[in-house]
Structure 1
Amino acid sequence: MAHPADSASTPPAPNVGEDGAIHSPPLPPQRGRPKVVIVMGATGAGKSRLAVDLAAHFAGVEVVSADSMQVYRGLDVLTNKVPLHEQKGVPHHLLSVIDPSVEFTCRDFRDHAVPIIQEILDRGGLPVIVGGTNFYIQALVSPFLFDDMAQDMQDCTLSDHPDGIGLTNDDEGGGYERLKEIDHVAAQRIHPNDHRKIKRYLELYATTGALPSNLFQGEAAKKWGRASNSKFDCCFLWVDADLQVLDNYVNQRVDCMMDAGLLDEVCDIYDPDGVYTQGLRQAIGVREFDEFFRLYLTRKESDNNKATSSATMLSVHDDQLKSMLDEAVSQLKTNTRRLVRRQRRRLHRLSKDFGWNLHRVDATKAFCCTTGNSWNKEVVEPCVDVVKSFLADGTTCSPSTNASDGIGEREVWTQYVCEACDKRVLRGAHEWEQHRQGRGHRKRVQRLKQKRSQMRPSESS
């Protein structure tokens, strides 16, 4: 089993602070902190399956879903909710509990999940948090939300009663302009169309008087995003696999979803005037079928038989509709594969930059091998060993020594513009470096160089 931090098995070296003083290595997790297991990984990696399998080895396992789309009622096939028969009697929480039309934020997840986890602990059970929405998990186990950080920002409060900042204005564009007036550094950090974050920044300033950009400086920033400051004692399991293997599995899973009634589900919530930026309609696989349903349902209006089903839609003979359906399925696969990459990048960053000790388990052989025992041998057994050690003394989950010191001091606010990629805006040095190393960026830069080299001879003549 591979670990992001190879040095986890040896005592960490003393840390030298900015003041030159030598600080003691991190203490073992406090015995008083409640223990939770957190299963992370990209979509399709097998997180839910592993969580259910852990219940066969540990008493009182209850699963708490940390998936931003599975929390909504509806789209069970598209969002890949664990069917009841596959739950094998293991209690599952936060599945299909939220109205599909409302917004469910990281803060909402935390406020729902914490009482559930506490109830499981009170029953003497073992909470197992499972999901691919890494921001949800980060909000749950670390000082991650602005509200958390603002509690440590008394020195940054500008006034005792901040008011008159125009929060009652419904003009979303005006909100961004107001943010620029209040805190131009924070405004530079976010996209003008990120209305949710703009609203949170303004609300934060209204309630605390703290500038959002100040949250990433000083003592509050040093705690931001780090699991070592959690109220829980966390054991992180990262189920991963070779990227090509995950890509192939995602493609196959989409095909299975199509056969299982995905189109029926999406058709049921289709609204030609619907908004794809809030609630369940944000799910990958909804927007992709918009053009298909727009034409398909329009043509069905003129038919005598207006009944729709996956079978009739999949067997459509109209060449234009068939082409649009094929394109939608292809786009669904592409966007899901992109999601896999974003999730994996985020996990790497949680390990490298935030010090999360993610116990990575490589499931590649389990995906490739057809024998029935491969999953248990390659995935379940290594994870059971990690959890047993964690429950015995907690030593497996000390902060990773690979983490960058002073994440809060890192440059995260500067805005970068990539001329080669149609003036794409990147925020912070980390995003910029990730973009520069990307295959797409490098290809565009190479084409731009070739174009310029071809223009030079003509210019000289």
Structure 2
Amino acid sequence: MMALRSVISSKIPMVIILGATGTGKTKLSIELAQRFETEIISADSMQIYKGLDIVTAKASLTERELVTHHLLNILEPHQNFTVVDFRNRALEIINNLTAQEKIPIVAGGTVYYIESIVYKILVEDMDDTNALLWEKSKRKRDFNDIDTKEEFKKKALDCEDHEHAKFDCAVVREMYDDNGGLNRDKLLEDIDNEAQFTNQEIHDRLRVVDPVMASRLHPNNRRKVLRSIEVWLKSGRRHSEVLDEQKTSEGLLRRPGATIILWLTCDKEVHEVRLDSRVDDMLQAGLIEELLAFHEAHNKHRIKDGTLPDYTKGVFQTLGFKEFHEYLMMSVEEKQSEAGKKLLQESILNMKLATKRFARRQNKMVRGRFLENSRREVPPIYQLDTTNLDEWDEVVKNKAIHIIEAFMKNETCQFEPLKPQSQQDEASIDSHSSNFCEVCKRLIVGDKEYAIHLLSNRHKKVLKKHLSGKIPDKNEGTDV
């Protein structure tokens, strides 16, 4: 097995195909892989799981027979998979392909997966790239080399003095055994069984381990809170310290001068019509049947046991589950009733709306993480317009082939990459600050977000009630 840290060949470009859902990433990746006789690495956080081929829009069996696909259908639905897991596995495949003088083609819409192989922004490592970080972390943690009991007690005191922390200091006390020593297994046990804890209770555990990171993350951002605890469990280092160190190197490319990004875009109105048709095509292909079967096999028993459906982790984040939840929970008779048919149509509409929102977020993230990030080097990013499918060969496929061949032959490319856009100095905005709105009784993470909140209609409405002497409802203003 080639070592993970081995130098990637600079003679072979790593080609990244990214873009919002429904822009043609799968089609182009297969065409390029066939043209250059190479293989595809999927960078889609949902396609990595087995099942749900329709709703996650995986390459068809026929397409997979034409071209070898990596990191597709490799996990069971219950398994946790992190960006570090993706990075470790993807880099090994990239190394192997370039060693064979094959172009690694990475295609997918999960931008933070793409970032992890384009930039040096993650420091966690693992000898066994086939192992999952969450599972390995439980065996790699060395509790003896870090915080003393006195340090934990000081954290408890600091948190008790914080008016809005809502920190249960019993969490700190539970970290010790009857003899006053650190209870080594307590946090591991809690995290292994994290489903039984509320967002705030999980956040309290992060505050014990890494109070700085806890101040940067809202309790409702459960996935990232768990991720930060995971970093500490595996490495013995606070995630906040790791991220602070990365600021000096996060803009460095892994493969300077040997990375090409092809960004597929589409006219907004045309794209939204195409996305609606995409959902309709999924329905024709058996989307409802696929969701029902998957729900029966992997989700129904959890709900019967009293576990609330969690659509924030793993494959259950897939567009469709949350939108169809109420319909999936109906009996066969209820589904066939007028109310059931009406709910089905509402679910379909909700999925179409959610898909469009997701596509907009993907495009915004591409711009924000690549073109508008002043702290980073930017590899050449070529925009390919997929609006007119009748012109696909000319303006998408052939253009992409020319870009890649020009690089490999060291010739001048006739197309210009996009120019990075200068933004406001990011140092002037603290994206990690914790702000508590006394009016709305809400914790807002980030100065920019707090400024937006103060101008929001919700805040103004609650403020008006305060000024008029009315006490707002206890739940008002608590949305995140």
TM-score by structure 2 length? 0.69
Number of the residue aligned with 1:214: 241
1:390 aligned onto 2:384: no
**Aligned residue identity for 1:41:** G
- Alpha-carbon distance between aligned partners in 2 of 1:45 and 1:194, rounded to the nearest angstrom: 29
1:290 aligned onto 2:267: no
Number of the residue aligned with 1:223: 249
Instruction: Give matches, 1:234-383, under 5 Å.
Output: 234-270=259-295, 271-272=299-300, 273=303, 275-297=310-332, 299=333, 316=336, 318-350=337-369, 351-353=371-373, 354-357=376-379, 359-367=381-389, 372=390, 374-383=391-400
Pair 1:89–1:409, CA change in 2 (3 A): farther
**Aligned residue identity for 1:288:** E
Unaligned runs of 5+ in 2: 1-6, 126-142, 148-181, 304-308, 469-480
Number of the residue aligned with 1:121: 98
Pair 1:418–1:110, CA change in 2 (3 A): same
- Alpha-carbon distance between aligned partners in 1 of 2:386 and 2:437, rounded to the nearest angstrom: 35
- Alpha-carbon distance between aligned partners in 2 of 1:279 and 1:183, rounded to the nearest angstrom: 24
Aligned residues: 386
Number of the residue aligned with 1:151: none
**Aligned residue identity for 1:296:** S
Number of the residue aligned with 1:428: 446
Q: 1:168 aligns with which of 181, 185, 188?
A: 188
- Alpha-carbon distance between aligned partners in 2 of 1:178 and 1:65, rounded to the nearest angstrom: 34
Alpha-carbon shift at residue 118 of structure 1 (Å): 2.1
Pair 1:208–1:76, CA change in 2 (3 A): closer
**Is the 1:180–1:187 contact (alpha carbons within 8 Å) kept by the matching residues of 2?**
yes
- % identity of equivalent residues: 28
**Aligned residue identity for 1:345:** K
The secondary structure found in structure 1 opposite 2:388 is helix
Alpha-carbon shift at residue 71 of structure 1 (Å): 1.1
Number of the residue aligned with 1:20: none
Alpha-carbon shift at residue 427 of structure 1 (Å): 3.3
**Aligned residue identity for 1:83:** S
Alpha-carbon shift at residue 291 of structure 1 (Å): 1.0
**Aligned residue identity for 1:54:** L
**Aligned residue identity for 1:331:** N
Number of the residue aligned with 2:46: 69
Alpha-carbon shift at residue 235 of structure 1 (Å): 0.7
The secondary structure found in structure 1 opposite 2:329 is helix
Alpha-carbon shift at residue 339 of structure 1 (Å): 0.7
The secondary structure found in structure 2 opposite 1:100 is coil
Q: Larger RCO: Structure 1 or Structure 2 (Cα < 8 Å, ≥ 6 residues apart)?
A: 1
**Aligned residue identity for 1:376:** D
**Is the 2:23–2:386 contact (alpha carbons within 8 Å) kept by the matching residues of 1?**
no
- Alpha-carbon distance between aligned partners in 2 of 1:63 and 1:207, rounded to the nearest angstrom: 30
Q: 1:233 aligns with which of 258, 261, 265?
A: 258
**Is the 1:356–1:399 contact (alpha carbons within 8 Å) kept by the matching residues of 2?**
no
- Alpha-carbon distance between aligned partners in 2 of 1:431 and 1:235, rounded to the nearest angstrom: 33
- Alpha-carbon distance between aligned partners in 2 of 1:109 and 1:199, rounded to the nearest angstrom: 17
Pair 1:143–1:424, CA change in 2 (3 A): farther
**Aligned residue identity for 1:162:** I
